[in-house]
Structure 1
């Protein structure tokens, strides 16, 4: 089944989370220092250029995960694997992830891809690929099905959540808190997904904050360049100028850099880290998709050369973080330091 094309009315965000109040920003303890975390969107592989479908996916890329995991473990970096339903219900994937968890510091979290996560009560449309757009009862049922599958697979109930496609909605955090979740990372700072009905994170900065009973840790996105103080407002104005964003980026005026090796050059990432640390950000949140650890499963890693660049990106970034004294933080350490342990 293919997803229908978005309608002309889909350009208005279904959900725009408000900026946190100053008092809700997490005041990290002094001994926490400046840290970073890596969340892995641990998911099925599919054709990124095709419409989303219920059945059109596989899980073979997971076999490359242990080698990638060792590269992080050898540097003392704990990973949090945000697992979705096809992974949580595949025996081989479960066994492979269990070997990764044997390091004693990595963790399993939850990632909801509603189009492959039962119950399938909703139409398969672009807007419904954002779980937060679904009716509250449907979103809750999908969260329950996935939480149950992960608990059964790994013997522990997950406490960290990410909505696939960053598809958080007005009910999501309340539903998660009611089910014992402690931390969410569904917000992608300074991005918007309104073209097909997704959320708009214009008001969300990089700082972790409390949202009701939940800890929110947005994916870190940094503006770099001489005009970076123009921030989100300038970046969005440039969208109306033909090739405006590209021109500003090439001139070293303004670039938007998310902390991910996927489509983000290492030079830009290193500059973004320097800006983030210089501006006093205490927790940097990195991410990548698990199928990117093998060639041919994502548009970011198409062949062996791309995979070498992927690993080289991490080599350079982890070395830079170590040089700056920015240490890795496990999921447990983050929750404890945020006062929720």
Structure 2
């Protein structure tokens, strides 16, 4: 029997974050720092290699030169790899970057579940098992880096109904697992269609959704038109090509720079005060993800960020750090 996807409620007005004027409008870059695996194949606990981390230092230097820190969401195979830990520890010296946690349930002990699309989303697990995996991950990161992580992402956007409370109990402050406007129910995941790009508070946590917006002439009807368009052959593509409706997440993975610029402008027009970008660390080395298959794709990845940073600077949007966000939102 199919599992009904968990769908968090839309934030209430009381839950919305009222950013102080002094914070300005800012952006945060998050990286899912993780092992390599075949994205087109079934998940397998044996796939734990972290060789793509060798490409991380050069990428970090580019971000650092632009004055941008990286919020590194580290998962278990990376946290227990001394070479990867050494690379990330060097990145922390920039004074802007920070280590967070990312829970890939299928490669994080204890292994009390059969690996399948549903259990790969940690929020679908029994609460006790989700908590045990979170403890193992948190302890591994704390031991590796000498500090407890305070930001979190559930791998595959697998946040569940108990997840935020579990995180708050363990001292986490920020979650960024909800991908605004996206629905992963068909692949065993969660339904975030009710979540938009604005930050909010819930269950003792600050939720910073990964920024996605609707653009196009019909964007105000996006919630009603975009989901059913997938049932029409090429329906979403036609809407996008006609300039009627697109859903654009802020990521260089599968999103062209022109679309990203349109999404930035729309998010700012919508009053979003913190734009949250994301990408996966294996993308930094060609051949590990569908987004960077060769050296030419890798050059395009860097160029995407150059164009995006130029637009953000033009619009007066400054880089944020986790430390700045926590300080701003702490009473």
Deviation of 1:23 after TM superposition, in Å, equals 1.0
The 8 Å contact of residues 45 and 297 in structure 1, kept in 2 or not, is answered as yes
Residue of 40, 57, 70 corresponding to 2:61: 70
Partner of 1:25: 16
The whole-number CA distance in structure 1 between the counterparts of 2:189 and 2:96 is 33
Partner of 1:259: 250
Partner of 2:40: 49
Residue of 127, 133, 137 corresponding to 1:142: 133
Q: What is the CA deviation profile of residues 139-179 of structure 1, one whole-angstrom value per residue up to 9, with x for unaligned ones? A: 00000000000000000000111000000001100111000
Partner of 1:3: none
Partner of 2:279: 288
The whole-number CA distance in structure 2 between the counterparts of 1:38 and 1:119 is 30
The 8 Å contact of residues 151 and 175 in structure 2, kept in 1 or not, is answered as yes
Tell me if 1:9 matches 2:2.
Answer: yes
The whole-number CA distance in structure 1 between the counterparts of 2:82 and 2:256 is 35
The 8 Å contact of residues 104 and 154 in structure 2, kept in 1 or not, is answered as yes
The whole-number CA distance in structure 1 between the counterparts of 2:189 and 2:285 is 29
Residue of 76, 86, 98 corresponding to 2:89: 98
Runs of 4+ in 1 over 2 A off after TM superposition: none
The 8 Å contact of residues 26 and 209 in structure 1, kept in 2 or not, is answered as yes
Matches within 5 A, 1:177-188: 177-188=168-179
Q: What is the CA deviation profile of residues 288-313 of structure 1, one whole-angstrom value per residue up to 9, with x for unaligned ones? A: 00111111111100100100110010
Residue of 212, 215, 219 corresponding to 1:228: 219
The 8 Å contact of residues 251 and 277 in structure 2, kept in 1 or not, is answered as yes
Deviation of 1:57 after TM superposition, in Å, equals 3.3
Partner of 1:320: 311
The whole-number CA distance in structure 1 between the counterparts of 2:235 and 2:96 is 44
The 8 Å contact of residues 27 and 338 in structure 1, kept in 2 or not, is answered as no
Tell me if 1:123 matches 2:114.
Answer: yes
Q: Secondary structure at the match of 2:263?
A: helix
Gaps of 5+ in 2: none
Q: Secondary structure at the match of 1:287?
A: strand
Deviation of 1:49 after TM superposition, in Å, equals 1.2
Q: What is the CA deviation profile of residues 284-337 of structure 1, one whole-angstrom value per residue up to 9, with x for unaligned ones? A: 000000111111111100100100110010000011101111000000111111
Q: What is the CA deviation profile of residues 264-298 of structure 1, one whole-angstrom value per residue up to 9, with x for unaligned ones? A: 01100000001111121100000000111111111
The whole-number CA distance in structure 1 between the counterparts of 2:248 and 2:142 is 35
The whole-number CA distance in structure 2 between the counterparts of 1:152 and 1:33 is 35
The whole-number CA distance in structure 1 between the counterparts of 2:48 and 2:74 is 15
Number of aligned residue pairs: give it.
331
The 8 Å contact of residues 84 and 146 in structure 1, kept in 2 or not, is answered as yes
The 8 Å contact of residues 196 and 209 in structure 2, kept in 1 or not, is answered as yes
The whole-number CA distance in structure 1 between the counterparts of 2:194 and 2:245 is 19
Q: TM-score, normalised by structure 2?
A: 0.98
